[in-house]
Amino acid sequence: MTQLPASTAKKLGLVIDLDTCVGCHACVISCKGWNTENYGAPLSDQDAYGADPSGTFLNRVHSYEVQPEAGTAQLIHFPKSCLHCDDAPCVTVCPTGASYKRAEDGIVLVNESACIGCSLCAWACPYGARELDAKAGVMKKCTLCVDRIYNENLPEEDRVPACVRTCPSGARHFGDLGDVDSEVSQLVASRGGFDLMPEQGTKPVNKYLPPRPKDVMPEYDVLAPFLEPVATDGKGFAHWLDKALSALPGGAK
């Protein structure tokens, strides 16, 4: 049903640390792998080995260059997937009821057997979190790996979204953002986690942690005294060599 629940018991979501993300795209690959083989229609590719490849992805990593007023530019890798918004505009626009937000954990899902592929939910999403699969003709989006996180057939450490499980730099965290005492909520509080496009009024559950300020390195070099130019005192072999070479025709003065 496309009416949003008044409140959800939990707010499961991701916290993404822009300080530690190295932009390796491992989360993109593990997401595509898990979600192609499991819940719902596979994430199809078109012309995968041809000149113009394209395909459906539920998670993509952008890279931005940020230029401060003074100092060098910073490169920031920026993974982006569904933010499982509290006020999800993609859900309310759906004409068939295929899009819904779960009251028990806040996950936004698509019932693919009811989706007519009208694309209006993708139009309503400011984040580009939904992609219409070109082969299946239905809307695909991040499920927060709903088929992993409650899956008792998996070892306990695997009961997190595939992107979180695979991240080699620990830049992705999964938990209940509705519980102020949860690890993810405390991480958000301590690091100043923020929303993307807050002015759109979507109240995203997923949060982003800002890059920490870069250290400013003082001019500091223990070897410098030993690497002074040696021929300035006008003595010794090096000085003689300098003078002798300069005296040659065409020598540098």
Partner 1 sequence: MHPASSVIIFTTFSGLGFGLLFWLGIGAITPTGLMALIWFAIAYLAAVGGLLASTFHLGRPERAIKAFSQWQTSWLSREGICAVVTLLIMAAYGAGLVFFDTVLRPLGWLGAAGALATVFTTAMIYAQLKTVPRWRHWSTPALFLALSVGGGALLGGQVTEALVLLGLAAALQVYTWVTGDTRLARSGTDMASATGLGHIGAVRAFEPPHTGTNYLMREFIHVVGRKHALRLRVIAVGLSFVLPIIFLLVPFSHIWGALALVSHIAGVLVLRWLFFAQAEHVVGLYYGKR
Interacting residue with partner 1 among 64, 240, 244, 246 (CB under 8 A): 64
Structure tokens at 177: 């953002």
Tokens representing 175 are 């938990």
H or E stretch at 176: strand 172-176
Phi, psi values for residue 33, rounded to 5°: -60, -55
Segment near partner 1 (CB under 8 A), from 85-93, 102-110, 151-159, 220-228?
85-93
Does position 36 interact with partner 1 (CB under 8 A)? The reply is: no
* Smallest gap from residue 125 Cβ to partner 1 (A): 7
The CA-to-CA distance between both ends of the chain, in Å, stands at 86
Q: Is residue 205 classed exposed, middle or buried when 0-12, 13-18 and 19+ CB atoms within 10 A define those classes?
A: buried
Binding of residue 39 to partner 1 (CB under 8 A): no
We find the least distance from the C-beta atom of residue 162 to partner 1, in angstroms, to be: 17
Strand, helix or coil at 16?
strand
What would the two tokens of residue 121 be? Answer: 């939910």
53 binds partner 1 (CB under 8 A): yes
Please report whether residue 94 would count as binding partner 1 according to CB under 8 A: yes
Instruction: Tell me the number of residues near partner 1 by CB under 8 A.
Output: 70
User: Is residue 210 involved in binding partner 1 (CB under 8 A)?
Assistant: yes
* 66 contributes a contact to partner 1 by CB under 8 A: yes
Give per-residue burial for 95-134: e unless 16+ CB within 10 Å, then b.
Answer: eeebbbbbeebbbbbbebeebebeebbbebbbbebbbbbe
What is the separation of C-alpha 165 from the centre of its chain, rounded to a whole number of angstroms? 14
User: Token pair of 218, please?
Assistant: 């003082």
- Quick one: which of 9, 19, 97, 103 contacts partner 1 (CB under 8 A)? 97
Which of 7, 19, 33, 74 contacts partner 1 by CB under 8 A?
74
Q: How far is the CB of 138 from partner 1 (least distance, A)?
A: 6
Q: Does 33 bind partner 1 (CB under 8 A)?
A: no
Q: Are 126 and 200 in contact (CB under 8 A)?
A: yes
> What token pair was written down for 150?
């409650």
- For residue 215, state whether it binds partner 1 (rule: CB under 8 A): no
Provide, rounded to whole angstroms, the least separation between the CB of residue 251 and partner 1. 48
103 binds partner 1 (CB under 8 A): no
Residues 140-169 that bind partner 1 (CB under 8 A): none
Kind of pairing between the strands at 207-209 and 12-17: parallel
Taking the least distance from each CB to partner 1, the nearer of 117 and 239 is 117
Footprint on this chain of partner 1 (rule: CB under 8 A): 1-3, 18, 25, 28, 52-57, 60-69, 73-76, 78, 80, 89, 91-98, 114-120, 122-128, 131-134, 136-139, 194-201, 208, 210-211
